Structure 1
C-alpha cells in the first residue's frame, strides 16, 4: 500500500561460480523493453492500490457485522440486500495490498543502503499513522460519539506500532496489517538490503522464506508464526517475484516464485476466509470467489510488471496513490461516525450514505496527505538519513 519511484540502480554482484552466475544473475531484459511511464512512476500501480483500499472500505461498511451494525442501526445485510455478499470479498483487498507491497519494497530496496531504506519506510508509514491515531482517539473521546476511546496509556503505546505483539488494544482496526508489513520489511532488510540487493539474493530470499514458512506452519510454533507469517508470506513473496518479472519477463525463476506463491496464497485465503453457505453468517464467501479475487490481485500486478497497463498514465492516479494510505488508516473507525450521522440522524438512504462516507474519508485523506505527510515526511526522511557525526578527537 506504498508509493515509490520505479527508478533505481542495480547494485551488487553475485558470488556464485561463473556457470551458476550465468543462470542466477542474468541482468539484461529479454524481449520488449519494460514500459515506464513519464517520470519513472508506475501510475497503474497507484490505481490498483486505490482499488484495493476501496475493496477494504466496501467490506468494512457493507460486508461484515460488528460495530458498523451499530452505525447503520441494522445489519449491513439489510442495508445492502443485493451487494452485501459481494462486499464480503472486499477483505481480500488486504492480500492485494500485500502483493503490491512485495513488488514495491523490492523495487524500493534495490540499490539502496540500509539506512536509506529504513528512512524511506519509516518516513512513509509514521506521519499519517501518528496523525490517524491522534485523530481517531480525539473523535472517539467526544461525548456525542458513542464509540469508546482507548485509555491514554494504550493510545500512547499505539504510537509505536508495536501494540499487536505487546497485546495492547488497537486504536485503528486496520493496523494489524501494518504489523505484518513491518515484519516483512525487517526480513527483507536483513536478508536482501543489508548484504546488497541482487537477483540471486532476492531469489534465495523468496525460496528460503517460502520453505521456512511451510515448516513454521507444520511446526505450529508461535514464535515461528510471528516471524515467518505463513498465511501472509505468499502474497509478499509473490509481489517480490513479480518485481523480478518486471526486470526480466523471461526469468523462469521469477515466474516459478510467482506461481508457487499464488498456489499457496489461495490456499491460505480460502482456509481463513471461506464460510460455507450452511454456516449462519450473512457475509459468507464461496471458495471459488476467494480464489478469483486472489487471482485478480496477482494478475493485476503481473499486468503492470509486464507493461501491459503502461497506457494507464493518468496524472490523477499519482494523487490517488498518495491518498490511499491515509484513507486506509482512517476509513474504518471514522467511517462508523460518518455513517451514523448521515444515515441515522439525517436519514440519508443506505447507498447514498455509503458513497458519501467514502467521499468524506477521501477528503480527510487528502487533508492528512496535504498538511501532515507533505510537511512531515521529507523532514523525517532527512533526519533519519543523515549520517551520524563523528565525535571530535
Structure 2
C-alpha cells in the first residue's frame, strides 16, 4: 500500500502521507560527498606527494582542502536514510539490515588495506595483525586501538548513532518518538562540552549530532509535511553545526601555514542543509536518473578503500605522470575497485549474511515463547531439557521478511524505503588532519 493511500496514526492523530518516488538525488548527494573526501585526501594532504600539495595543485588545492566536509554531508544523509529505513520495522530487522550492509565490504577493505601497507609501508604501517583483527570488529576506537585506515573513524560514529536510534526502533518508530529523540539528543549534545563527563561526550557526539538530528527532521518533513516544530529542529541543528565548525576546521587544517578562511566551510554546510530541505519538500523528486543508483552503491566501498591504497599508488607513480592525470587515474582505479567490491563482495556476501542473521533472529523469537504447561518457563526448562518444537511468536509465523531488492543490488529497491547508510570518512591522515 503506497504512502499516499494510508494514514500513520501516532498519538491519536492520523497523518496523511505523500507518495514517495525513489530518491535518486540522495545517491547523487552521497556520490558528491564521497568525491569531496577522496579529493581532500589526494589533493590537500601530503600523503604520497613528495612536495607540499599546495605547490603540486596551486589552484585545486584551495578547494580540495575543504573536502573533509563530505563527512558532515554523509552524517546528514544518514539521519534521513536511517529514519526512513526503520519505519515499520522491528529491532531485529534493523540489526540485520545494518550488519549485512556495512560489514562485508568493510572486512575485505580492512584486509586489503593491511596487505597493501604491509608490502609497501611508505605511506602507512600497521602495528601488527592484532590491530588488523581488532579492526574487523569495527569497534577498535572503543577499545583504544588505532584504525588500519584513516577513514574508519567515522564508522564508529555511525555505529553509535545506530545504537542510540535502536532505542527508538525497539519501541516502534513513530513521529512523536523521533521528535523526542531529536530533542533529547540535542540537549545532551549541548550539555556535553561543559559537563566534564567522558561517557556523555562519547555518546552525545556534539560535533556530529546536529547533522543526524537534522536528517531525521528532514525525513519527517518528507514523510508527513513540514511544520514549525520540524523547521525549528533543523534551524537549531544548523546553528549548532556552524558553532562547531571552527573546531572541525582546526582538526583538519591545523597544519596550514597561512590563515584559513572559515566562510567556505560555513557555506558548504549551509548548502548541504538547503539541498536536504529541497529533498524533504519533494522539490527534487523529478531527478530520476537510474544510473545514480549504481553510482550511489559504489560510494561506501570507494570510501573504504581509497585512502591509504590510493596514496600508496600516488607515492609510487608520482614521477611517471603529471599530478592532475595521476589523481584522475587513481580515482578511476579506486572506482573500479569499489565496483568489484560491490559486485563480488557486498552483493553475494551481504545476501548470505542477511539470510543467516534472519534465520538466527527467527530462531531467537521462536524459542523465546513460553511452552504450554511449562509454568511460564521459557523453552529452556522442563524434563526434556528445553528441547521443544519451535513455537511461532506472535507476528513471527515465518522467517523475518526480507526487503525486496532490485536486480543486481544487495539493497532494498528504493532509496525511499531502503536501509542504506552513507558511508563516511576519516580519522587522522598521515600528517594529522582529521576528516
TM-score interval, normalised by the smaller of the two chains: 0.7 to 0.9
Indicate conservation of the 8 Å contact 2:302/2:338, yes or no: yes
1:248 matched to 2:224: yes
1:107 matched to 2:88: no
1:210 matched to 2:183: no
Cross-structure match for 1:44: 25
- 2:97 and 2:212 mapped to 1: Cα distance? 18
1:263 matched to 2:239: yes
Larger Rg: 2
Cross-structure match for 1:3: none
How much has 1:341 moved relative to structure 2? 2.8
Indicate conservation of the 8 Å contact 2:6/2:16, yes or no: no
1:83 matched to 2:25: no
Cross-structure match for 1:165: 142
Pick from 154, 171, 177 the counterpart of residue 201 of structure 1. Answer: 177
How much has 1:143 moved relative to structure 2? 5.3
Cross-structure match for 1:317: 292
Pick from 277, 283, 289 the counterpart of residue 302 of structure 1. Answer: 277
With 141-150 and 87-96 compared, the bigger mean Cα shift is at: 141-150
Cα 1:97–1:284 change in 2 (3 A) is farther
Residue by residue, what CA displacement relative to the aligned partner does 1:113-150 show, whole Å, maximum 9, x if unpaired? 00000100111100010010010011112258664233
How much has 1:392 moved relative to structure 2? 3.0
Unaligned runs of 5+ in 2: 368-385, 389-435
How much has 1:220 moved relative to structure 2? 2.5
TM-score by length of 2: 0.79
Indicate conservation of the 8 Å contact 2:123/2:308, yes or no: no
Indicate conservation of the 8 Å contact 1:8/1:107, yes or no: no
Q: What pairs up with 1:167-186 in 2 under 5 angstroms? A: 167-186=144-163
Moved over 6 A (4+): 6-12
Residue by residue, what CA displacement relative to the aligned partner does 1:190-235 show, whole Å, maximum 9, x if unpaired? 1x10110010000000011101111112202111111111111101
SS of residue matched to 2:150: coil
Cross-structure match for 2:263: 288
- 2:170 and 2:252 mapped to 1: Cα distance? 45
- 2:117 and 2:5 mapped to 1: Cα distance? 46
- 2:274 and 2:36 mapped to 1: Cα distance? 16
- 2:259 and 2:199 mapped to 1: Cα distance? 31
How much has 1:164 moved relative to structure 2? 0.7
How much has 1:282 moved relative to structure 2? 4.9
Cross-structure match for 1:63: 44
- 1:276 and 1:117 mapped to 2: Cα distance? 33
Cross-structure match for 2:401: none
Structure having the larger proportion of residues in helix: 1
Pick from 343, 348, 353 the counterpart of residue 321 of structure 2. Answer: 348
- 2:153 and 2:84 mapped to 1: Cα distance? 24
Pick from 27, 33, 36 the counterpart of residue 15 of structure 2. Answer: 27
Cα 1:276–1:369 change in 2 (3 A) is closer
Cα 1:119–1:125 change in 2 (3 A) is same
Residue by residue, what CA displacement relative to the aligned partner does 1:58-91 show, whole Å, maximum 9, x if unpaired? 11111234xx1xx111121111111212111100
TM-score by length of 1: 0.87
Paired residues in the alignment total: 365
How much has 1:385 moved relative to structure 2? 1.9
SS of residue matched to 2:125: coil
Indicate conservation of the 8 Å contact 2:9/2:15, yes or no: no
Cα 1:7–1:89 change in 2 (3 A) is farther
Unaligned runs of 5+ in 1: 1-5
Pick from 345, 348, 351 the counterpart of residue 372 of structure 1. Answer: 345
SS of residue matched to 1:307: coil
How much has 1:13 moved relative to structure 2? 5.0
Residue by residue, what CA displacement relative to the aligned partner does 1:305-359 show, whole Å, maximum 9, x if unpaired? 2222222211110001110000001111111122123323xx2001111111111
- 1:245 and 1:269 mapped to 2: Cα distance? 26
Cα 1:80–1:284 change in 2 (3 A) is farther
